[in-house]
Amino acid sequence: MRVLAAMSGGVDSAVAAARAVDAGHDVTGVHLALSRAGGTLRAGSRGCCTIEDAMDARRAADRLGIPFYVWDFSERFRDDVIEDFVAEYSAGRTPNPCMRCNERIKFAAVLEKALDLGFDAVCTGHYAILRTGLEGALELHRASDAAKDQSYVLGVLTAEQLAHTLFPLGDTPSKALVRAEAQERGLTVAHKPDSHDICFIPDGDTRGWLADRVGAAEGEIVDRTGAVVGTHEGAHAFTVGQRRGLALGVPAADGKPRFVLEVRPVSNTVVVGPKEALAIAEISGERFTWVGAAPTASEFACHVQIRAHADPVPATARRTASGVEVVPDEPLSGVAPGQTAVLYAGTRVLGQFTIDRTVSAVPAGV
């Protein structure tokens, strides 16, 4: 097959490309330029897609003896990921930019261009496994290494995208083995730190970055009864479940700490309450996709995961006329609208939806 290897400049994508070469594929490497700030530099393990990452990717491709190109997707990334991130925060939701990047850039725009150029598949360094199901359809499953499993952020993929995707690292028992393999292959990225945080906010100051783009205006912090208990300098700086940085002027009657329960951007209000009120008994959303064939039953048992590294929780999911509803067997904690809920059946990824509505397990009057 003609395979396009997406090379981020990290060790995972370099080894994935190497394995694709070993498998006999005709491999071409490509690095995605997602920022037009050409002089952007990497700060330790923060961020990715910097000028150093592009050079690391090129060196890896040279070592593997494969052609290498840099594709400029900065405009598409700005429109589909960065602007979406700002819009979601402005609406009081907590977005996941990595999900949007996978959905709209790496497995939509890139794959579309690759197919147009005559490639058969895109290869990435994600830790996930593709398997053929009993009925012959491809399924997406968790990786062998639970600590590195990335199936959650791949929950946005469609059956068509799975058919043109390769994940060579999925069956690798540990990241340490990947680094050792990179060392043996003479890849200079063998011991390069993993990237983390939001790639377009490399200094990690999400609050300051958002303030520059959406502005900061003083507003009220209220409890669940509507009583004002403090003020803030911009609702965009708060997320559901947050405890630090509230600076409440009125202590709780029971003396216990309070947490952010809700962000209301229209009124620029932040709602706080006891930790118990973060328990969520039901979530639902209208923006959903299925990874492969959709479940045939309108109601089915599954596990739901609401963050990349959260534990999956047993639940019952219902398909409705407008979307998906999920009732966990035990309440979820700190769920915010805008987050992505990924549904699993064992190790298999069933699909995902963006959480639009949550129902607290603790009524407001309690």
Chain length of the chain: 366
As a whole number of angstroms, the distance between CA 103 and CA 124 comes to: 14
Catalytic pick among 48, 98, 123, 199: 199
Inter-residue contact 29 to 68 (CB < 8 Å): yes
As a whole number of angstroms, the distance between CA 94 and CA 100 comes to: 12
User: Going by C-beta distance under 8 Å and a sequence separation of 6 or more, which residues neighbour residue 259?
Assistant: 241, 242, 243, 272, 273, 274, 275, 277, 278, 334
User: Closest by alpha carbon to 358, among 288, 282, 305?
Assistant: 282
Active-site residue flag, 101: yes
Instruction: Name beta bridge partners: 316.
Output: 301, 327
The token duo for 55 is 């050079």
User: Going by C-beta distance under 8 Å and a sequence separation of 6 or more, which residues neighbour residue 116?
Assistant: none
Inter-residue contact 264 to 282 (CB < 8 Å): no
- In this structure, are strands 129-132 and 269-273 parallel, antiparallel, or unpaired? unpaired
For the beta carbon of residue 108, count every other beta carbon within 10 angstroms: 18
User: Going by C-beta distance under 8 Å and a sequence separation of 6 or more, which residues neighbour residue 25?
Assistant: 1, 2, 3, 123
User: At 243, is the secondary structure helix, strand, or coil?
Assistant: coil
Inter-residue contact 238 to 200 (CB < 8 Å): no
Catalytic pick among 49, 98, 101, 302: 101
Active-site residue flag, 199: yes
Residue 173 burial (CB < 10 Å; 0-12/13-18/19+)?
Answer: exposed
User: Closest by alpha carbon to 240, among 360, 97, 363, 108?
Assistant: 360
The token duo for 270 is 């932040």
Return the H-helix or E-strand segment holding 9.
Answer: none
**Active-site residue numbers?**
101, 199
